[in-house]
Structure 1
Amino acid sequence: MLELCFNEGVGGLLAYWQSGKQKILCLGDDLSIGPIAGGPDSQERREQLVRILGSDPWGELPAGEWIDEAWQRYCRTWERLRTLPEGTEVRVWLDRTPGSRCGFLASAEALAFRKARVTAALLPEWVARPDGTAVEYSGWGEAGPEELDALLEDCCRGVPQVLLGGLSHRWRQLQEENTPLRAVINGRLHSVPEDFYDGMILSRLPEAGQTIRLAELLGRTLGECQPGIGDWWLACRAEALATEGRFCLERDPDRFYNSHVTAL
């Protein structure tokens, strides 16, 4: 069985779980952020990936051609998906993150065309443990490799071909809308404006006049709101909000996430 996921962290988790990557396809570009009209491996997506990987907010990434290599690897993965042998068994790792939902919709057409036998591994929202505690999940990347076998026992279900066709149609609709973001609202994926997450950032500011590091503000937003996206977009929106005068941002010239945010 081929494992298909949509997050590099999940890809690493599955590789550790399987002790190898030969049966894993990881489409790690978060298609919930940025333009999608031209397709997942279009030039516009390449430019989006360069913006994300090249931002380096901590100033610690090595120089070199690694970003281009990452893009080429991503394109090769899409080509492998589109040329699968007919009838390949594929298990798709799905969770509540918008990137996972977008990745599945974007890949549905290729899966349907290759008549893949698709099983969806749907991450449960929470799991009760024998010790009387419970754990809540928002993405597969939050699970440990030792948990996967137990989680898979009850969370897998077959995906009929007709549903793959419907998902592909929904993806084409989202491509036509081509908004800056896509988000999960009431369990469904919707096109949303670029300021969709702004309220989450602003609600995590300290009292007026108090100052915190930008990294702490973003950490609060990610941990308490669980938007299911990475910190890059939130950092971009924090810059935009500061420009609009919603708070003061004193930039650290070397490490952007060390910048200081002062509430007004």
Structure 2
Amino acid sequence: MYWICFGDSAKGLLSVARHDIAPEVAADHILALLDNYSEGDITDVTDRAAREAILMPWRGDPELDGSWMDELTERHFEELDRLDEVDEAVIWYSKGNAQEQCGLRYVVSRLYEKRIPVWAAEVDQIPVSELKEPDDVIGSASAVIIGSTNRVVNALLRALPQPLLRWYAKRLERRDREKRTSGGIVQYGSVGEMELGAAWYFYKHRRQLTETEQAQLLSDWKRLQEENAPLRAMMDGRVQSVSADFYDEAILAGITEAEMPAALAVGRAIGELDRKTGNRVGDMLVFSRIRALAQAGKIQIVQDAPTYRDMTIRKIGS
């Protein structure tokens, strides 16, 4: 039995969750594909040259570039090859996430010809009453680690004693849950953002895909490959091929005519697209569209920079 997911966050969460919900699954049988098949050329996703810009969009960033990028790329393609080992699979994915939905279709296309049993663990909604509390999950961990995107904050967090870290972790999880909760239901947009206390629920409700369902997913993947659009997005509950400018309206809506940091525009666009469409869009995709919008004369780059952290922009008035 193998578990297959998409992204390091999902793998990290499932690696911890398996101890409680499926200890019989070996730790090295959790495979994570790190590429995002909702973007770019998917004619042959095993072609490193064709996929590297999507798999590693930060290459060239002076603050992030390093050997870890090569290691991540190598790890992805090693796990891609290991799909040939799979004898039975549980694929973890979110219902409304284009990246995970495209990943689901690709993995099924790899397994279908071998008639390998495939189970779907679809992460979507869970009643609050079914969630295990943070105390039950975090309290059972031997150690707690909290990370952020801020290096200074990370240094401070590493200096905190474990009792304080555990208290802070529980507080963060409860606060994050409140943001996702409406009418007694918690909604998740990706496997990686799922709480540990929810994993058992979605695993319990997993179901085996019928041959007809697998054939349909295979057909969907072949269609997406043939269309080979610049992007794929969730529209009306389905994965659809879309144009490169599909997200531009939402990006422009978050840019003011007054000079502003590009980082703020990136954050606004990601949040807006998530709330209104359910599409999870990467920061580097938004950044690339900001440059495209500047070339089209719709925004002005006031202060240019290699990364959006140091760039400032403004919308050009109509």
Fold match, TM over 0.5? Answer: yes
Cα deviation for residue 62 of structure 1 reads 4.4
Choose 108-117 or 225-234, whichever is displaced more. Answer: 108-117
Q: Does 1:224 align with 2:272?
A: yes
**TM-score using structure 2 length:** 0.73
Cα deviation for residue 180 of structure 1 reads 0.6
Counterpart in 1 of 2:305? 253
Is the contact made by 2:89 and 2:118 (CA closer than 8 Å) also made in structure 1? yes
Report the 3-state secondary structure (helix = DSSP H, G, I; strand = E; otherwise coil) of the residue aligned with 1:119. strand
The two structures, once aligned, show a CA RMSD in angstroms of 2.3
Residue 220 to residue 89, structure 1, CA distance change in 2 (3 Å): same
Residue 230 to residue 175, structure 1, CA distance change in 2 (3 Å): same
Counterpart in 2 of 1:8? 8
How do 1:36-185 and structure 2 match up within 5 A? 36-37=42-43, 39-49=44-54, 52-56=57-61, 59-64=62-67, 66-84=68-86, 88-95=87-94, 96-124=96-124, 126-130=125-129, 133-154=184-205, 156-185=206-235
Cα deviation for residue 32 of structure 1 reads 0.6
Counterpart in 2 of 1:213? 261
Is the contact made by 2:259 and 2:312 (CA closer than 8 Å) also made in structure 1? yes
Question: In 2, Cα distance between the equivalents of 1:144 and 1:118?
Answer: 24
Cα deviation for residue 51 of structure 1 reads 5.4
Is the contact made by 2:58 and 2:64 (CA closer than 8 Å) also made in structure 1? no
Question: In 1, Cα distance between the equivalents of 2:77 and 2:301?
Answer: 37
Letter in 2 for 1:181: L
Residue 16 to residue 252, structure 1, CA distance change in 2 (3 Å): farther
Instruction: Name the structure with the higher helix share.
Output: 2
Which one has a bigger Cα radius of gyration?
2
Unaligned runs of 5+ in 1: none
Q: Does 1:24 align with 2:40?
A: no
Residue 9 to residue 250, structure 1, CA distance change in 2 (3 Å): farther
Is the contact made by 2:233 and 2:240 (CA closer than 8 Å) also made in structure 1? yes
Question: In 1, Cα distance between the equivalents of 2:213 and 2:202?
Answer: 24
Cα deviation 1:117-171 (Å, max 9, x = unaligned): 11111112x33324974432211222122321134334x2211123222211221
Q: Does 1:194 align with 2:244?
A: yes
Is the contact made by 2:35 and 2:55 (CA closer than 8 Å) also made in structure 1? no
Question: In 2, Cα distance between the equivalents of 1:136 and 1:170?
Answer: 26
Unaligned runs of 5+ in 2: 20-25, 130-177
Letter in 2 for 1:202: L
